[in-house]
Amino acid sequence: MQFKLKYLLFILSLILSVNISAQKTKRQVLEARRIQNQKDQIYINALLSNTKRKEKNLLNDLSDLKDKIKTREGLIKAITNESNELGNEIYLNQLEINQNKRDLKDLKKEYGDMIFKSYKSKSQNSRIMFLLSSENFYQGYKRFQYMKQYTSFRKKQGEEIQKKTEELQVLTDTLKLKKEQKQLLLSDKKKEKELVENEKKDQENLLSQVKKKESKYKKQIRKFQKEEARIDGLIKRAIRDAIAASNKKSTTGSSKKSTTFTLTAELKELASKFTSNKGKLPWPVEKGYVSTYYGKQPHPILKTATIQSHGVRITTNKGSKARAVFEGSVLAVQVMSGNKKMMYIQHGNYITVYKNLENVFVKTGDKVKTKQVIGTIFTDKITGKTILGFVLSKNTNTENPRSWIYRM
């Protein structure tokens, strides 16, 4: 019965140690996420606070505030997840401490019983008599070996008690540290919540001002969307023209009206490499955050308006450079209004488009490498914002860059 109980306790201890190890790994991941979120929040706040405007623009102010709140809420969520996981670790840690206390108690009892038995037969004479009373030499040798093993076992038991005592102390210290860490996380969470509440009050104040001139801002939004639709049309036309040119060069007799590129063996291989890197492509800027995502979505400020985005808009630092997300060749460079440039890079039957460039460092036909700098991003003199427009197409069909770019 006692053996079965010890066996069950051993199995419980083993399961507990595996669970604790898994919990530690999970919390390390959550801790890394929380730290990254903190870095993102600091970066975005610094970026948005540095956009000095020459004239007041409520829509920009609201958009900035919305991005700040969204980032801060992401940080609060990361803190909550890590805090909950730390709570699980504390619980499992306490279970392990309780188990170690039971183990230590059993070891001390066994050791005490051994010492007591040893004390009863501690005299040197009794040990000698134990050996001399042997019936033959073999039995005497066996008894001598037993006495040696018994002494060695006593020593090991003493060492095991010392080891368990030290382990218990380490676990207790770790538990205390984890409880302190959890308190710090909860304190950080409280501060962030207070900041979010203040920012939401500012947001409500700005929203009330926007509503007073809603028709004016709707006109601004429609004007912006009209310009974006015009640029999207230019992109589609440019890609269709490129497809028609590739088909014309082809000897396979492809239709000039085809919507897919006729690829050489080299371009097929490049397209295959591009596809295999889905979800792993680098960002088209060294540092920044997505301020507008792909697809149809409600306007971040005026809920009655919608946005149809065929790519993403990435807000970054003034003077930031755009870079190619993959190797390929420059298909075209278009000059837009305000002398801004738009660049197309071909990767087989995939095209990446980089909008809102102030100047470019490569020309049509040039080969580019992954992460190669291709131009400087334009900074708006009114809003102070530096935003890169990025579009990804397979032939004439746009795709969500979020599925292709690493951790977008």
Q: pLDDT digit string (tens) for 85-113?
A: 888 888 877 877 777 777 777 767 776 66
Whole-number Å distance between alpha carbons of 313 and 332: 20
Q: Which of 167, 238, 164, 214 is nearest to 396 (CA)?
A: 238
Please tell me which residue, 140 or 34, carries the higher pLDDT value: 34
Give the per-residue pLDDT at 329.
97
Q: Who contacts 326 (Cβ-Cβ below 8 Å, separation ≥6)? A: 273, 274, 277, 281, 345, 347, 352, 370
Give the per-residue pLDDT at 53.
46
Residue 139 contacts residue 126 (beta carbons within 8 Å): no
pLDDT over 80 at 226, yes or no = yes
Residue 23 contacts residue 93 (beta carbons within 8 Å): no
- Quote the mean pLDDT of the chain: 80
Taken in order of first residue, the domains within the chain and their CATH numbers are: 2-212 (no CATH), 214-403 (2.70.70.10)
pLDDT over 50 at 382, yes or no = yes
Give the per-residue pLDDT at 203.
80
pLDDT over 50 at 55, yes or no = no
Whole-number Å distance between alpha carbons of 171 and 92: 11
Q: Which of 222, 230, 271 is nearest to 59 (CA)?
A: 222
Distance of CA 106 to the CA centre of its chain: 45
pLDDT over 90 at 125, yes or no = no
Give CB contacts under 8 A, 24+ apart, made by 21-27.
23/85, 23/88, 23/89, 23/92, 24/89, 26/85, 27/82, 27/85, 27/86, 27/89
Q: pLDDT digit string (tens) for 296-326?
A: 888 766 666 778 899 999 999 999 999 999 9
Give the per-residue pLDDT at 19.
57
Give the per-residue pLDDT at 54.
40
Identify the band that residue 11 occupies on the pLDDT scale cut at 50, 70 and 90.
low
Residue with tokens 């900074």: 379
Q: Which of 311, 342, 343 is nearest to 330 (CA)?
A: 343
Q: Which of 141, 143, 355 is nearest to 232 (CA)?
A: 355
Please give the single-letter amino acid code of residue 124: Q
Whole-number Å distance between alpha carbons of 314 and 190: 30
Whole-number Å distance between alpha carbons of 402 and 392: 10
Identify the band that residue 374 occupies on the pLDDT scale cut at 50, 70 and 90.
very high
* Residue 403 DSSP symbol: G
Residue 18 has phi, psi (to 5 degrees) of -65, -45
Give the per-residue pLDDT at 51.
53
Residue 267 contacts residue 348 (beta carbons within 8 Å): yes
